[in-house]
């Protein structure tokens, strides 16, 4: 029995008291009498015992089941008063560590049982302590750990680190299996791995898990087989190597990029030791020298440097060993013997062993050097051309400051190129022009626009040069970088223009003083000059310059004159009259002359000079004389001359339009008897009344003429049918049958007329004389038929109509 053990006795049977006495004699334990079961339960709430000896009467009593709750740290032995082996499992189920028969109990058996129970209790306590330590280690380890059933693959336990790492709650995790941590396409690999035998301490394997939020986690798994709750299980520890692997991949990618950069770079990269022995060369550098990489590695750089430059190479080795960095130009020799120029930038580095070596990066600038040389040559040629140019040339910065001017500018401005730099070129500008030119130049520069100006350079008080100056922005890749400009000496042109201006002023003074209208239109029919008389006539004294002829003249007038304008623009001098009846009823007639203006080589018409004179008064007077010459003084009708002019025109229109033309030839029957019986005064009055009645019967557009004596003619145009001509003749005959009342003479006379009707249509060769002869023939037939009637002739087939017998 263990010394110092507290033993509590529960029960009142005599055998219990004997046990107490036996234990006290042993003096190895302290024995506490706790009374019956109910008193013991109360006492155990305030004290603790290592072992309880309990009088066991009936396992069904609830008080026995309370012992575990009241004294959880105490082991107890059931002392059954009934020697019933069958009740042993019941006592054991209630928590008893052993069960002894009270009536057959002796001290040796009791001491042995107590020793066994206490030893078992100590072992259990040690195991529990070990379990608690393992549980603390399991829970507090910073790496995710779990235990899963190797059959169902469901999690049996997980630590807090796994909860934090995977984002599941504790109860959620224990509802999962290993499948839930892996992507579906990796389940087959998981099953294969689990089917393999696992050593006692498995080596780590790398797998890909997925957290609760879908985030991938790359973990390194260490596993160990164990039994958990009596079932085969496996303990796994997962180390998150996601960041580590990403870092490794980044390093590997960086190494690949460096390798690719070294291998694929167009730059020339190589390394050499401190004696100039090549350690590595990239393909671009090898190709630039005409070698393969393997042919250069291990060779001294002296083999690729021209002999004349090898002394400089030794100096370079000393310099870079001293400064650990160097840059400059290498002159290297291509395999074919051609000398190349490399621009290098080298640094001293150290390998893992601390040994120094040189890493170099170079560019082959041979072509660039040649280009720069050609560029300098071209620049020199350009400057020579610029200096030889008769025009002044200059360049300016974006801010407008001059940075170059050629020799021609120096000659014009009287300033040297260096004296004109910046804004000092304005010193050459005439004082009267300087403020204007300065403001215009600053405005053009500010708004990035073109600059144009006409100004004067003044060498001294006696010498002035007129120049035309212009500049435009220089655009390089879409950006304005400055300005380039030119200056032209226009002194001679300025003098010529001044002379021309004075000549134009004199010409305008002369033309404005002339009563004639004078103008000039260019080949585009736009006015370039018009004197005062022309402007007053067509624009109300406003300027016509720049306006089109159609706009100035008006649509109707322009259309009348357009054929003549185009004729003049084809090089023909044209003179014509243009008549116009205006809206106010006034009549105007102009005589116009269009004179072509040829170029100096007489190859092209540049424009047309227009000269116009108002001949309205002459035309009116001319018409009055013509009308007087063509008018019958007795009747007011057209006379023979006027009739013939109008008949000629009517016949021409008939030919052009293929229209019907009707001519009536008529006279007064027995007119001689009227004259002989009543005198010529009565005869004249009869003629006047006869003319008036013709006017009332015929249309206003019909032409009526008196050829002489009692002979009259009528011209009728626009009839659609020949029958209408017969109707008109019949109306005339009927109208003349009414009595002629002569109030002054107090007479009433009966008068009749005979009419000959001539028709003409589609007769291209018919003349006026032939048409009159046809009408006269028809009149003769009417006379022959008894007078007071009419007859009609149409070409060779005359249509004959007799006088009607009644009105």
411 to 415, 434, 452: CA distances (angstroms): 7, 19, 20
SS3 524: coil
3-state class (DSSP) for residue 550: helix
Q: In what order do the strands lie in the sheet with 451-460?
A: 402-405, 392-397, 479-489, 463-476, 451-460
For 680, 707, 749, the CA distances from 631, given in Å and listed in that order, are 20, 10, 27
CA distance 668 to 690: 8
291 secondary structure, DSSP code = -
| Residue carrying the six token digits 């996601």 | 242
Q: Which residues contact residue 252 at a Cβ distance below 8 angstroms, ignoring those fewer than 6 apart?
A: none
Tell me the C-alpha distance between 150 and 198, whole Å.
11
What gap in Å lies between CA 781 and CA 792, rounded to an integer? 9
Report helix, strand or coil for 768: helix
CA distance 527 to 257: 76
Q: For 527, list phi and psi in degrees, rounded to 5.
A: -70, 130
543-to-531, 550, 592 alpha-carbon distances in Å = 9, 15, 21
Q: Which of 21, 96, 102, 2 is nearest to 52 (CA)?
A: 96
What is d(CA 637, CA 707) in angstroms, rounded to the nearest whole number? Answer: 9
Give Cβ neighbours of residue 25 (< 8 Å, ≥ 6 apart): none
Distance from chain centroid for Cα 207: 52
Contact 165, 146 (CB under 8 A): no
The CA distance from 130 to 361, in Å, is 66
* Catalytic residue numbers, as ranges: 710
User: Could you give the 3-state DSSP secondary structure of residue 738?
Assistant: coil
User: Which letter, b or e, does each residue of 503-540 get, where b requires 16 or more Cβ atoms within 10 Å of its Cβ?
Assistant: eeeeeeeebeeeeebbbbbbeebbbebbbebbbebbee
């Amino acid at each position: 029995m263990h010394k110092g053990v507290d033993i509590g006795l529960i029960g009142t049977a005599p055998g219990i008291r004997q046990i107490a006495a036996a234990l006290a004699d042993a003096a190895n334990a302290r024995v506490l009498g706790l009374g019956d079961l109910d008193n013991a339960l109360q006492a155990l709430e305030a004290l603790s015992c290592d072992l309880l000896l309990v009088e066991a009467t009936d396992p069904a009593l609830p008080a026995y089941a309370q012992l575990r709750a009241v004294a959880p740290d105490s082991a107890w032995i059931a002392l059954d008063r009934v020697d019933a082996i069958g009740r042993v499992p019941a006592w054991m189920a209630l928590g008893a560590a052993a069960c002894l028969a009270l009536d057959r109990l002796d001290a040796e058996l009791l001491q042995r049982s107590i020793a066994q129970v206490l030893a078992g209790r100590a072992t259990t306590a040690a195991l529990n302590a070990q379990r608690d330590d393992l549980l603390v280690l399991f829970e507090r380890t910073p790496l995710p750990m779990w235990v899963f059933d190797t059959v169902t693959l469901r999690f049996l336990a997980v630590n807090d680190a796994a909860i934090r790492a995977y984002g599941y709650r504790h109860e959620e995790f224990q509802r999962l299996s290993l499948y839930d941590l892996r992507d579906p396409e990796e389940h087959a690999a998981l099953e294969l791995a689990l089917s393999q035998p696992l050593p006692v301490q498995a080596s780590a394997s790398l797998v890909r898990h997925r957290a609760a939020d879908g985030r991938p986690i790359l973990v390194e798994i260490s596993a160990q087989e164990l039994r958990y709750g009596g079932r085969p299980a496996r303990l796994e520890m997962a180390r998150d190597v996601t960041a580590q692997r990403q870092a490794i991949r980044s390093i590997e990618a960086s190494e690949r990029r460096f390798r690719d950069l070294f291998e694929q770079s167009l730059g020339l990269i190589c390394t050499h030791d401190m004696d100039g022995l090549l350690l590595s060369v990239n393909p671009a550098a090898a190709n630039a020298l005409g070698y393969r990489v393997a042919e250069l590695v291990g060779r001294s750089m002296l083999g690729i440097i021209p002999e004349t430059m090898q002394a400089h190479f030794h100096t370079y080795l000393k310099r870079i060993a001293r400064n650990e960095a160097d840059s400059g130009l290498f002159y290297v020799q291509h395999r074919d013997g051609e000398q190349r120029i490399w621009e290098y930038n080298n640094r001293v580095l150290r390998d893992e062993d601390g040994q120094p070596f040189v890493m170099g990066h170079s560019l082959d600038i041979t072509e660039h050097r040649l280009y720069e040389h050609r560029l300098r040559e071209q620049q020199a040629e350009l400057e020579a051309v610029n200096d030889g140019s008769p025009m002044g040339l200059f360049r300016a910065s974006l801010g407008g400051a001059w940075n170059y001017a050629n020799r021609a500018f120096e000659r014009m401005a009287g300033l040297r190129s260096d004296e004109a730099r910046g804004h000092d070129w304005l010193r050459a500008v005439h004082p009267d022009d300087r403020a204007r030119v300065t403001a215009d130049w600053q405005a053009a520069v500010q708004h990035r626009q073109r600059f144009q100006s006409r100004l004067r350079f003044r060498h001294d008080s006696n010498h002035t040069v007129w120049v035309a100056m212009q500049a435009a922005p220089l655009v390089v890749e879409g950006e304005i970088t400055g300005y380039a400009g030119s200056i032209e000496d226009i002194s001679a042109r300025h003098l010529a223009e001044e002379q021309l201006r004075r000549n134009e002023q004199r010409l305008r003074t002369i033309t404005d003083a002339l009563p004639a209208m004078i103008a000039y239109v260019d080949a585009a029919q736009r006015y370039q000059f018009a004197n005062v008389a022309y402007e007053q006539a067509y624009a109300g004294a406003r300027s016509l310059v720049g306006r089109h002829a159609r706009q100035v003249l008006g649509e109707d007038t322009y259309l009348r004159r357009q054929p003549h304008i185009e004729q003049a623009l084809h090089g023909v001098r044209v003179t014509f009259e243009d008549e116009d009846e205006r809206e106010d009823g006034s009549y105007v007639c102009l005589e116009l002359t269009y004179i072509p203006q040829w170029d100096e080589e007489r190859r092209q018409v540049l424009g047309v000079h227009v000269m116009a004179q108002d001949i309205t008064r002459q035309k009116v007077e001319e018409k009055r004389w013509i009308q007087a010459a063509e008018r019958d003084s007795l009747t007011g009708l057209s006379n023979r001359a006027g009739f013939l002019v109008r008949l000629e025109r009517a016949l021409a229109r008939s030919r052009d339009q293929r229209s019907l033309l009707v001519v009536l030839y008529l006279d007064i029957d027995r007119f001689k008897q009227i004259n002989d019986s009543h005198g010529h005064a009565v005869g004249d009055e009869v003629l006047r009344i006869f003319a008036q009645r013709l006017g009332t019967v015929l249309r206003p557009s019909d032409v009526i003429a008196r050829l002489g004596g009692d002979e009259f003619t009528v011209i009728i145009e626009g009839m659609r049918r020949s029958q209408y001509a017969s109707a008109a003749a019949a109306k005339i005959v009927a109208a003349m049958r009414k009595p002629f009342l002569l109030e002054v003479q107090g007479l009433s006379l009966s008068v009749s007329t005979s009419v000959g009707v001539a028709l003409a249509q589609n007769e291209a060769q018919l003349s006026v004389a032939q048409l009159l002869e046809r009408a006269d023939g028809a009149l003769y037939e009417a006379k022959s038929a008894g007078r007071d009637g009419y007859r009609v002739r149409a070409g060779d087939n005359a249509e004959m109509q007799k006088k009607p017998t009644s009105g």
